[in-house]
Amino acid sequence: MLISVSGRYILIAIGILNALIIARLLTPADFGRFSIAVSIIAISSSLRELGISSYLIRIPQLDQAALGRGFAVTMTASLMVGLPIFLARDFFAGFFGEPEIAPLVGLLCANFLIIPPGMGASASLYRQMRFGALNLMLIVTSVMAAVVAIALAATGHGPMSLAIGQVTQYALQLLWFMVIEPRSVFVRPHFRGAREMLRFGVPSTLSGVVNQGGMYATSIVLGRLLGPAAVGFFERGSGLFSIMNNDLVGAIAQVLFVGIARVREQREALAQLFRRSLRILTATIWPAYGVVAALSAPLIELMFGPQWRPATEVLQVLCLAGMISAGYIIYQRLVVAVGAMGRMLAIESAGQGTRLLAAYLLAGFGLGAAAFGTVISMALLGVLYLLAARAYLSADRRVVVMIYLESLLITALTAAPAAAVVAYGPQDLPPFFILAIGGTLSLAAWLSTILLLRHDVADELRDLLSAAIAWRRGTFTRPAPSAKNGGDQGDTP
């Protein structure tokens, strides 16, 4: 698991560096306009996928017929969703009173055509557990997209520079898939057997639409009520949260989904995987969120400058939401792996509907209050997913409670040094030194704690270090691929 996540730390660093530079080239209003356009596209993008990626990962055998069927369904859905959005771009601009939103939405609609051809290749690589290749792709394309966006922003292209950078990244990812997994990209589209795929995909899609709507609802509400500058501040704080939530927690979630999908019919193996995964997940993600929350003020000031200080409160509140979501993500992945998509739709509808309502009611009290709507939503989702997962998971409640308490202790001990540096350190200390001192002390505290507790994370770190040493010496060998279908397209070994 940590081998996969390690590559995401590089993505986090790239995202932070890119944000640091862009924040000094664009105004909060510019960034807000781009965020509104992205919100419009993102809410609709779930309709494009139709849950096909998860379907292709979980089916017993991934062959050319399944790949062709998946491509045909997703491309058709993309055209049906993307074209109306493209034609309605001027309406969206008028709704928010921002003419610049129209060309942004128009350009971002190109992603509806670029993403579907690579979906099968992505699923195939996940089934092979080739997380290194996926991470390398994300790193290379992220760097190249960031270079494009920064260059355009520096030459006065405003929010359009971010839109061009995003489209560039997806185009480069498709090119990458064409090179390393061509048989999964160049397929013959057909609709034979699409009914089974849609039975799984439609509830998943509706869940995705609800989820995306909840995620971006706050930005849309703030854009309508308070204007693009408020959206810029909110998205700058939530952007740092998203880097962690998508690039770190998202990576772990996908690894968990593959593992759970394998052993979902074996209750004892599933329970064992659950306990170990929950222990590693919470002992890794919770402390990370805790440290970021403690260092949010100097982090925002160093990265974006003093003009972005209103984003500090947003980041602190969302770190609490992130800790809550990391605590239930395994339950969520289990519900998807067993195919209970109708139940997932009901849960997401309740949770994200609560987020939308809370964002609307709390927006008038400030950015931090609006962000707290996410905390309320995450807490409700955690309870609902826990109740749903109990039907498929035999886990001792006392063990689960002890895991949570242990991870809370690790989080408190890890975040305490960073919080102390911010609260009691010299007030005139530059933000860089606050982050360096607080981050170093917290990292030392985290490593010391997991070693003293003989935590599973310590075992994972030792395995990662051993693999790195073996690779450096040229003695590392990858596990042998499955002999079936060239080593991957069937069940993963």
State whether 150 and 285 are in the same domain. Answer: no
| Best CA proximity match to 105, nearest among 86, 91, 84 | 86
What residues make up the domain containing 274? 198-476
State whether 71 and 15 are in the same domain. Answer: yes
More confident residue, 293 or 463: 293
Tell me if 493 is assigned to some domain: no
Tell me if 230 is assigned to some domain: yes
Domain boundary among 192, 208, 226: 192
Domain boundary among 172, 192, 212: 192
Q: Is the CB of residue 248 less than 8 Å from the CB of residue 12?
A: yes
Per the listing, tokens 């849950």 go with 51
What's the structural domain count of the chain?
Answer: 2
Q: Is the CB of residue 210 less than 8 Å from the CB of residue 203?
A: no
pLDDT in tens, 71-111: 888 888 888 888 999 999 999 999 888 899 999 999 999 99
Tell me if 491 is assigned to some domain: no
State whether 258 and 133 are in the same domain. Answer: no
Task: Please give the torsion angle defined by the CA atoms of residues 317, 319, 323 and 326, in that order, rounded to the nearest 10 degrees.
Answer: 120
State whether 272 and 366 are in the same domain. Answer: yes
Average pLDDT, the chain: 81
Q: Residues 6 or more apart from 49 whose CB is under 8 A from it? A: 74, 77, 119, 201, 205, 208
Tokens of 190: 């057909």
Question: How many Cα atoms occupy the beta-carbon half-sphere of 64 within 13 Å?
Answer: 7
pLDDT in tens, 42-54: 766 666 666 677 7
State whether 187 and 203 are in the same domain. Answer: no
State whether 216 and 188 are in the same domain. Answer: no
Q: Is 192 helix (H, G, I), strand (E, B) or coil?
A: coil
State whether 185 and 239 are in the same domain. Answer: no
State whether 185 and 209 are in the same domain. Answer: no
Full-model pTM: 0.66
| Best CA proximity match to 146, nearest among 20, 28, 239, 246 | 20
State whether 129 and 203 are in the same domain. Answer: no
Tell me if 298 is assigned to some domain: yes
State whether 356 and 422 are in the same domain. Answer: yes
State whether 185 and 271 are in the same domain. Answer: no
pLDDT in tens, 175-218: 999 998 898 888 888 888 777 777 766 666 666 666 666 667 77
Domain boundary among 192, 212, 244: 192
State whether 106 and 175 are in the same domain. Answer: yes
| Cα–Cα distance, 263 to 258 (Å, whole number) | 9
